[in-house]
Structure 1
Amino acid sequence: MTTVTECAVLLLPLTETVPCCVPSDGAMSQVAAPARTTSREAVRSGVVNKSRWRIAFLALAAAVLLGAMILSLGVGAKFIPATTVLEAFTNPLDTADHAIILQTRLPRTLMGIAVGISLGVAGALIQAITRNPLADPGILGVNAGASFAMVIAIGVFGIGSLSGYIWFAFIGAILTTAAVYLIGTSGRNEVNPIRLTLAGVALGAVLTGIGSGLTLLNPKAFDHLRSWSIGSLDTRSMESVLTVAPFMAAGLIIALFCVSGLNAVALGDDLATSLGANVNRTRILGVVAITLLSGAATAGAGAIGFVGLMIPHVARWIVGPDQRWILASTVLLAPILLLVSDVVGRIAAPGELPVGVVTAFIGAPVLIALARRRKVSGL
């Protein structure tokens, strides 16, 4: 029987295209096997190259984060050189510069890193779970619930220390998220992203209105909440960092358990279920992680907006739609944004701008740009 090669050689002088010729089974196998091998090798090569590029990006982001940490430790009312900053950790001395770094700026920097990671990861989780690219942690009413609980703690119980009312803020965030979840499910077995989002927005608006009214009736509460309500890393002690750190760590651990199902959930409930993903389990774990991360971040540094909105989009543009790489990138990019914003706030005005104001200046144009795009980046 004529093989493919022989058929092509015989007919090539007659026409520029090879006519149809039925090859033998052996010839078909000889042609198909190299094609499959080449295709597999190309796919594997592309995956390996993309993974290497992503790892290189994470290494670069880690280096930038280290630079942002040094910048945060050195810039302030008094500028301290980077060499002095490094010396404060390698060879601490009883000097004014080292005292400023270790006692004042180090807790502030650590709080900025912890809050940045928490808000960024919470934002990535909520965007994946609700399939809403414009969502951020505040959409579940976490900030409003924490703020309302702080108004109660300060105005009703007279608690004025951070170590006291931070627990009220955290409990308020947990209760608000639980209420949003119950309202969003409405007695059904499934969690609907649209109902969850609407319930969070509605309950957050109600709590914000009530809290604002109580604050205006109590000037003392207003004074305590002035800087906290817009988000600030100023006057944070190491005690505050140690108070919120366990809850943030628990939220990150839970996020790791649900990250495997986020890629499937982002495709839609029906397709995710057909792929074998447990959609409800992923959403429940995600909501718990969001509550812990956002509640602890809000309790520790106040209502800082737009970090959870911007960073997941930036990560998605750089590393692609894989939620595992998005979360890994967010862990590095979010604290960079928060630390740099905090440094800008220290030098942008004669006094100091709270970090929440700086992130709002950056985030508002980003939100407008995202809303005006015809097609927001896919989840």
Structure 2
Amino acid sequence: MKISFYIALRYWRSKSADRFGRLVTNLASVGIVLGVMALIIVLSVMNGLERQQKQQVLSTIPHGIVSNSQGHFNLQDTAPDFPPFVQKAVPINTTNVILQSAHGVSAGQVIGVKDVSDDPLLNHLSDEFSQLLPNGEFKLIIGSSLADKLQLNIGDKVRMMITENSQYTPFGRVPTQRLFTISGLYYSSAEAASYAVFANLADIGRLMRLSAEQFQGYRLFLADPFQITELSRFFPSDWKIQDWRSQKGEFFQAVRMEKNMMGLLISLIVVVAVSNIITSLSLMVVDKQGEIAILQTQGLQKKQVRRIFIFQGFLVGAVGTFIGTILGILVTLNLAQIMDWISTNNVFLPTYIESGQIVLIVAFSLLLALLSTIYPAYRAAKVEPAEALRYE
């Protein structure tokens, strides 16, 4: 064992006569433990909330829609090569519409599909697609919340007006419109259920002046919706890409900013705790001046003196970081049971531990602990044996 590390270990384990210095060292260790543990717990909870929102909110809306600005696609053509992180790509015709019933009017978005498996909101429908949305019969599947708002049931008629397409009549320019029959209801608590309706791909294409074999673009479902930023690298510049960020981008940006701010604020606990290492080492340098001088007279070099206090301060930071990391992971893994003991209101906090985040927290804490030893170690190396031992 190197002499510098051996002496640092003895200093760290010894019961110093300076009780105040020992107290400051213990406070530094406890502060690092609490800071690292709090960082891991809070960031894991924020990760869990972000992941839960991503699964609940983004699972019911298109992750992306790609279309060719030069024209439309054809069902007979070969589908483009999509990147590997795209789980599924289905043809889509979609537009904003106004739905009018005998009891009210509501804005919505119609989505043309080829099969009930094309959208997760329709997965629970067991009937055949040919019965629900047959080609040419202009039938509609509507969300239960929107159906309640317009007081519609299966078999009722609803007028759909496409505001983006219009036609000239003797009475002026009027939007394209058509009566649709409600053929099914889907049930979902998602926000999309309040405005999304589904029709046959070809029926919507006819209203948008497309042939039965044409469609606007491909609706993409990604393994990770946050990979949408990489999508533009796989398509030519003349392709148009619409993604979920136009609807929910601000929400997830706010969640990410809140997580970053919480991490920054809690990391100040670690910064304050590490500053106590500077204080404790500085007190030890004053207390151990005579011993440092004797070690130098016995041949210990100044760089070895510096290493003694660097090792000692780093030991304090490393032990606190290790204990805080273990406690943080254990509390995070058992947070549901802990919340049951603390609260009787059935509060559930989802958690998700990211290994990269844990490594970053540990590296941040150890780096601060190492930096905090530089000044005390420099002061210790400046001790002159003759001056320190003059009155001994």
Give TM class, smaller chain: under 0.3
Instruction: Answer with 1 or 2: which has the greater Rg.
Output: 2
With normalisation by structure 2, the TM-score equals 0.23
The structure whose residues are more often strand, as a share, is 2
With normalisation by structure 1, the TM-score equals 0.23
The structure whose residues are more often helix, as a share, is 1
**Greater RCO between the two (CA within 8 Å, min separation 6)?**
2
